[in-house]
């Protein structure tokens, strides 16, 4: 039974990885076909880096991923803080389920609905929105990133020892500063993993971007899509292999950040320990002054 289950697991994983590994291997294929492997060559990578459109798409992807994940992290972290402090259980429930709509809905519906909103907004006379492009992409990506940020930050706020906040306030720390000095550092692991999650999701998104983009602002997935729609350039394999590699690195980073977070997860601490924690947090403040 044990060996049987092990063989089964291996087979599934081999099947799961085979196409990706073959894709990466053949991105080095000198012949530029998928039929047979003639020799190792980097010429497709060289061709890729000479391709101005691909480099532009890469730049756009990075700009968009950084800005949308940062914006989503700011809004999402504040929202998680606010939701956690909310007294009305009903209101909390409503906001949480509305927030989760983009996660529940198929991407295509989210993309289409966003597009209709933008089309309608552009039809309004004197509207600031003139055409689909960076702005519409930024709005859409931020929208689907926010739920994931809240999802990773809210549990941290819930686990947080509320006495730490109360102590800081009792000691005369204004609420804004308490947030920055006490609460934010405690939830920081969640914030960072939310930020990274948002960054990867934005980098990865194709379906929603497909509907809210224009040809003058293309991201990497859109570029891949347009290239694979017609005659396939062989350098696309090199591009895909590179993207897999980047995702791999990012995933390892996210895992690392998550693990670090678990270590600092506040446990049920004794009063003594809590005082120690408080002192550490406030000493940071003293050093800064």
User: Does 35 contact other proteins by CB under 8 A?
Assistant: yes
Instruction: Compute the least distance from the CB of residue 70 to other proteins, in Å.
Output: 14
Which of 62, 70, 86, 278 binds other proteins (CB under 8 A)? It is 86
User: Does 133 contact other proteins by CB under 8 A?
Assistant: no
Contact between 25 and 38 (Cβ < 8 Å):
no
Instruction: Compute the least distance from the CB of residue 213 to other proteins, in Å.
Output: 12
User: Does 93 contact other proteins by CB under 8 A?
Assistant: no
Which of 185, 204, 253, 266 binds other proteins (CB under 8 A)? It is 204
Task: Identify which of 152, 154, 142, 153 has the alpha carbon closest to the alpha carbon of residue 102.
Answer: 142
User: Does 31 contact other proteins by CB under 8 A?
Assistant: no
Burial label for 134, CB within 10 Å (0-12, 13-18, 19+), is middle
Which of 39, 125, 172, 176 binds other proteins (CB under 8 A)? It is 176
Contacts of 154 (CB under 8 A, 6+ apart): 80, 83, 84, 190
Which of 211, 217, 238, 257 binds other proteins (CB under 8 A)? It is 211
In the region spanning residues 47 to 76, those forming contacts with other proteins, defined by CB under 8 A, are 75-76
Say whether 216 sits in a helix, a strand or coil: coil
Cite the DSSP H helix spans in the chain.
2-26, 43-50, 52-85, 89-99, 101-104, 107-123, 134-159, 162-170, 175-178, 184-204, 207-212, 220-229, 235-263, 271-288
Q: Pattern 145-174, binding to other proteins, x per CB under 8 A?
A: -x-x-xx--------------x--x-----
Nearer to other proteins, 228 or 276 (CB): 228
The dihedral region occupied by 32, where left means phi > 0, alpha psi between -120 and 50, and beta the remainder, is: left
User: Does 244 contact other proteins by CB under 8 A?
Assistant: yes
User: Does 119 contact other proteins by CB under 8 A?
Assistant: yes
Beta-bridge mates of residue 63 = none
Instruction: Compute the least distance from the CB of residue 210 to other proteins, in Å.
Output: 8
Instruction: Compute the least distance from the CB of residue 288 to other proteins, in Å.
Output: 20
Beta-bridge mates of residue 29 = 40
């Amino acid at each position: 039974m044990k060996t049987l289950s092990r063989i089964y697991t291996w087979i599934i994983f081999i099947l799961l990885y085979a196409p990706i590994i073959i894709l990466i291997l053949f991105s080095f294929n000198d012949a530029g076909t998928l039929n047979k492997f003639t020799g190792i060559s980097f010429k497709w990578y060289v061709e890729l880096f000479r391709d101005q459109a691909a480099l532009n798409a890469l730049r756009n992807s990075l700009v968009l991923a950084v800005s949308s994940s940062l914006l989503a992290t700011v809004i999402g972290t504040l929202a998680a803080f606010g939701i956690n402090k909310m007294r009305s259980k009903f209101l909390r429930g409503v906001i949480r389920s509305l927030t989760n709509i983009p996660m529940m809905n198929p991407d295509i519906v989210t993309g289409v609905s966003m597009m209709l909103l933008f089309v309608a907004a552009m039809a309004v006379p004197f509207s600031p929105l003139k055409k689909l492009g960076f702005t519409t992409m930024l709005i859409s990506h931020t929208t689907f990133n926010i739920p994931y940020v809240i999802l990773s930050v809210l549990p941290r706020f819930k686990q947080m020892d509320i006495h730490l906040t109360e102590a800081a306030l009792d000691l005369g720390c204004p609420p804004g500063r308490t947030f920055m000095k006490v609460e934010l550092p405690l939830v920081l692991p969640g914030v960072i993993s939310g930020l990274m999650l948002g960054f990867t999701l934005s980098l990865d998104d194709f379906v929603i971007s497909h509907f809210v983009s224009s040809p003058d602002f293309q991201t990497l997935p859109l570029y891949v899509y347009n290239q694979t729609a017609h005659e396939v350039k062989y350098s696309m394999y090199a591009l895909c292999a590179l993207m897999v590699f980047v995702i791999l690195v990012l995933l390892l980073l996210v895992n690392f950040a998550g693990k670090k977070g678990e270590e600092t997860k506040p446990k049920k601490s004794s009063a003594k320990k809590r005082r120690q924690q408080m002192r550490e947090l406030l000493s940071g403040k003293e050093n800064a002054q």
